[in-house]
Structure 1
Amino acid sequence: MDTRRTLLITGCSSGIGLDAARGLRERGWRVLASCRQEADCDRLRAEGFEAPRLDYADPDSVAAGLAEVLEATGGRLDALYNNGAFACPGALEDLPREALSEIFETNLFGWHDLTRRVIPVMRAQGHGRIVNCSSVLGLVGVKWRGAYVATKFALEGLTDVLRLEMAGTGIHVALIEPGPVTSRIRANSIPHFERWIDWKRSARREEYEGLLHRLYEERAPDRFELPPSAVTAKLVHALEARRPRPRYYVTTPTYLSGTLKRLLPTRALDRVVARG
């Protein structure tokens, strides 16, 4: 009988999710590392992972992916790390309703669907950990990233309420809020930008030219950028500490943004954010 603690992680094809899967496996967890694409699942299986396919935007995939996990573990799941998400850069005035609906399906509604399905399992076993990967953009808004910001602000509220509601059940709920971390989120956002943002007809066309430079060209790491292992280190505490924290900041910009949001009036914070 496999007595290792079991952990389901979503969005494990690269970046934060992949590092978390490798790091927690090294610590003795039985990691079920899910991905949206079957090809990515196959790559992880080649590394020795159990890798169910799970696409947040597809409710049938969420149900089937979790069923596969529970069948493999004998109906037990000690922890869930919601991580998979994408961005759709662009000015909000250029963002069609369909684009906002699409990003919420993956970045929020799918997370909620999977979490709701997991809670009865954790209730029955009397314990569990639910960790949601938010962002510094769940604390402060930044221009051109409104769609992603909206999903992360919503996730922050959803997670706060879930933490309150799960008090006393043995199920601990936490948020991780990374700032700039090495990942493929910029590159992965390009197809969404190209699909939804008609920048050539935008009133902000000249401003988009600067955005396109940052979006398409490879560049050096951001000033405060950290590797995904920095997030994994906080995840370890959220999963293994007797009393996990409600929130875990990662990177200097997150600590700074959290502090300034508490201390500054809105207009002063706007000026700071506008300066970058």
Structure 2
Amino acid sequence: MTNIVITGCSTGIGLETALYLKERYISVYPTARDEKDVAHLKNLGFEHAMVLDVTKPEQIAAVISQVMELEGKIDVWFNNAGYGQPGAVEDLSTAMLRAQFETNLFGLHECTLQVLRVMKAQGYGKIIQHSSVLGLISLFGRGAYNASKYAIEGLSDTLRLELMDTGISVSLLNTGPITSNFRQNAMQKLQENVDIAHSRFKEKYEANIRGTGKKVPFNLEADAVASVVYEIIAAKKPKPRYYITKATYLLGNLKRILSTSLLDKILMRVG
């Protein structure tokens, strides 16, 4: 039976992907940062759900060790864990930017490095990196998140070239708006870490907070991502990149054909 380890399964895409794959007889090892979320996963039938904070290398090693003890292999690793830190670039402290990268990029990289040792030894494997439409284009007030996702794109594109002489694939998921708690959590980070009251973007921030629950154009449910992960698992040769949602196709294609100045005008209206 094919197995997969998924990071960031407390809610949203990670949780729904774990459930979707379990129903299709994939051996799923979901992970989450908090004990209470791991307990919830176990209540849902994931006997081997595990604690994993991707910023802690020893926890990554422990997860890999347990899966190897149970299975003797790791077929697929889905680097899904991440969060968004909103705020205009001028309102972001270096510490905030560093924290964003610690989870979204450095945690992803440490997971990748550790699982690569297993996959190179076994001679095969699939690594799925959760990027975003914001790894292709940038939106106002998303500088930290944009930067982390652009970095994932560059790192993963390079890794894919370096693994061409192996049986290991690297696939990027460029997701657009997906139903989850991501936006609510991001607005909480905005209020916690940005000095909104003294920012020249105060009104824009407050409007974004008020609009947290508004319906987003082109939004899809989380199973849209889960089905792509399943497609990658089933594929003999997974594609290097998968666009998910019409927003990704639209904005990704506009970046190819429009001048930067014209695209900027459109993106200011989107943001």
Please give the range of the TM-score, normalised by the shorter of the 2 chains.
over 0.9
Within 5 Å, give how 1:59-208 maps onto structure 2: 59-74=57-72, 76-208=73-205
Query: Which segment is superposed worse, 22-31 or 36-45?
Result: 22-31
Deviation by residue 1:185-220 (Cα, 9 ceiling, x = unmatched) = 0122244223320111112223322222124xx33x
Residue 46 of structure 1 deviates from its aligned partner by 1.2
Return the offset for 1:69. 2.4
Select 2:265's aligned residue among 249, 259, 271: 271
Amino acid at match of 1:250: I
The alpha-carbon deviation at position 268 of structure 1 amounts to 1.1
Instruction: After TM superposition, give the deviation of residue 243 of structure 1 in Å.
Output: 1.5
How big is the shift at 1:102? 0.5
Report what 1:247 is aligned to. Answer: 241
Q: 2: distance between equivalents of 1:253 and 1:163?
A: 25
Aligned partner letter, 1:30? S
For structure 1, which runs of at least 5 residues remain unmatched after alignment?
Answer: none
> Matched residue of 1:81: which SS?
strand
Give CA deviations for 1:239-258 in whole Å, capped at 9, x if unaligned: 21112111100111100111
Percent of aligned positions that are identical: 43
What is residue 22 of structure 2 aligned with on the other side?
25
Q: Which amino acid aligns with 1:121?
A: V
Partner of 2:56: 58
Q: Name the aligned partner's letter for residue 41 of structure 2.
A: L
Letter in 1 for 2:207: G
Aligned to 2:225: 231
Structure 2 letter corresponding to 1:256 = L
2:187–2:209: 8 Å Cα contact kept in structure 1? no
TM-score, normalization by structure 2: 0.96
Runs in 1 of length 4+ with deviation above 4 angstroms? none
Q: What code does the residue aligned with 2:262 have?
A: A
Q: Which amino acid aligns with 1:266?
A: T
* CA deviation vs aligned residue, 1:17-53 (integer Å, no higher than 9, x gap): 1111111112221100001111101111111212111
Show CA shifts across 1:113-155 (max 9, x none).
0110001111111110001111101100001111111100000
User: Could you tell me how far apart the structure 1 residues matched to 2:63 and 2:216 are?
Assistant: 35
Distance 1:253 1:14 in 2: 22
The number of residues matched between the two structures is: 269
Task: Measure, in 1, the Cα distance between the counterparts of 2:187 and 2:33.
Answer: 17
3-state SS in 2 of match to 1:172: strand
Unaligned runs of at least 5 residues, structure 2: none
Q: Is the 8 A contact 2:176 2:248 kept in 1?
A: yes
Which residue identity lines up with residue 143 of structure 2 in the other structure?
G
Alpha-carbon distance in 1 for matches of 2:170, 2:206: 41
How far is 1:270 from its partner?
0.6
Q: Let me know the Cα RMSD of the aligned residues.
A: 1.2
